[in-house]
Amino acid sequence: MRNQWLMLAACFWVLFMLMVASKFIPLTFRDKDSYSIKSRPMTWSAVAQARKLPVAEANVETLKPTGKVLEDTAHKPQIQIDRMELLRNVCRNASLSNLTHTTVSKFVLDRIFVSDKHKILFCQTPKVGNTQWKKVLIFLNGHFPSINKIPEHLVHDNEKNGIPRLSSFSKPEIQERLNSYFKFLIVRDPFERLISAFKDKFIINPRFEPWYKHDIAPAIIRKYRKNHTETRGLQFEDFVRYLGDPHRRQLDLQFGEHIIHWVSYVELCAPCEINYSVVGHHETLEADALYILKEAGIDHLVSYPTIPPGITLYNRTKVQSYFSSISKRDIRRLYARFKGDFKLFGYQEPDFLLN
């Protein structure tokens, strides 16, 4: 009997010890499904507190306008990563600062169109598909059932197209939008863009803007053509000589905002001062347009207008043809003016024209 009592007491002692020990088993060994409250992921506020940083400092570069965290760079196309890295590196290059930096003046703010509804800023770069992007913003405002229904004349009527410019806001409102909205611009080979501007404004002139032929062209001819005659109309040689003149400022002021069609990307959009989300290239616009719409969070609402086959391809033969009669001196002066655009956006120096 005594042995039985001893055995029973030992069993009770073992059970008691197991109950006590269970109180000290680490949580990591418990079944996670047994928690009544599931653990939640850290928010950006929590991350900032853990690092002892203000919230704004922790997430300035990582938030979309909606406040959602952007995809990791590993999920971005490599070409987009490379473009933004190049842009930042060139902006930091002190030897190029006079070619790549500008002030964010009213002239720059006038070039930036705003969609408050979708928190988008688009910097206008004429002769680089600018018309189609403005149509996208007009459509997003909800005034037309489709992009194809938007009248062509309305797109460029900045008083009636319903797209506000960033310059129309107060300074605090401007800063808030620059800090938080999705921002993008489109670029193309700088010399090919100048050829397009020359053809569009002085040869074809499809929008019937008479001031280019009757006011601007004669003024350029008088100043930059050697014999000062106007019998042939403005020639590309006259145009290049004017653009490459470092002392053309007075003439630019006379022409007013009409010069935006051949002003550099640096002067138009201040890419070293404004932290753009995406820089698209005209030469890869088919892919870049899809990427921009997705990153802006509007790809489910609108599609970029159909691009005619081959229209975005760089045409070296055309460039060579237009510059064939231009002196090396004038080409070098022209390149010197637009060198910042070439460097910032990865366009090759046109050695085939300069040498």
- Give the three-class secondary structure for 185: strand
State the pLDDT at residue 66. Answer: 33
Q: How confident is the model at residue 72 (pLDDT cuts 50, 70, 90)?
A: low
State the pLDDT at residue 63. Answer: 29
Answer for the pair 187, 292: CB distance below 8 angstroms, yes or no. Answer: no
State the pLDDT at residue 345. Answer: 98
Provide the b/e sequence for 133-164 (b: ≥16 CB within 10 Å). bbbbbbbbeeebeebeebeeeebeeeeebebe
State the pLDDT at residue 224. Answer: 94
The H helix count followed by the E strand count for the chain is 19, 4
How does pLDDT run across 17-67, given as a tens digit for each residue? 545 444 443 333 333 322 222 223 323 333 233 323 232 323 333 223 333
Q: How confident is the model at residue 12 (pLDDT cuts 50, 70, 90)?
A: low
Give the end-to-end CA distance of the chain in Å, rounded to a whole number.
114
Averaged pLDDT, 157-171: 93
State the pLDDT at residue 34. Answer: 28
Higher pLDDT among residues 108 and 305, named by residue: 108
Averaged pLDDT, 2-31: 46
For residue 274, pLDDT beyond 70: yes
State the pLDDT at residue 96. Answer: 96
Residues 6+ apart with CB under 8 A from 48: 54, 55, 57, 58, 59
Higher pLDDT among residues 205 and 132, named by residue: 132
Phi, psi of 280 (to 5 degrees): -90, 155
Sign of CA dihedral 315, 97, 178, 103: negative
Closest CA to 338 of 284, 280, 263, 236: 263
For residue 116, pLDDT beyond 60: yes
State the pLDDT at residue 141. Answer: 86
Name 114's bridge partners: 121
Taking residue 248's Cβ as centre, other Cβ atoms within 10 Å add up to 19
pTM: 0.78
Answer for the pair 157, 133: CB distance below 8 angstroms, yes or no. Answer: no
Answer for the pair 269, 108: CB distance below 8 angstroms, yes or no. Answer: yes
Q: What's at 109, amino acid-wise?
A: L
Q: How far apart are CA 179 and CA 59, in angstroms?
A: 11
With tokens 């990865």, the residue in question is 346
State the pLDDT at residue 139. Answer: 94
Answer for the pair 315, 323: CB distance below 8 angstroms, yes or no. Answer: no
* Burial bucket for residue 44 (CB in 10 Å: 0-12, 13-18, 19+): middle
* Lowest-confidence pick of 19-28, 115-124, 144-153: 19-28
How does pLDDT run across 242-264, given as a tens digit for each residue? 999 999 999 999 999 999 999 99
How does pLDDT run across 288-323, given as a tens digit for each residue? 999 999 999 999 999 999 898 889 999 999 999 999
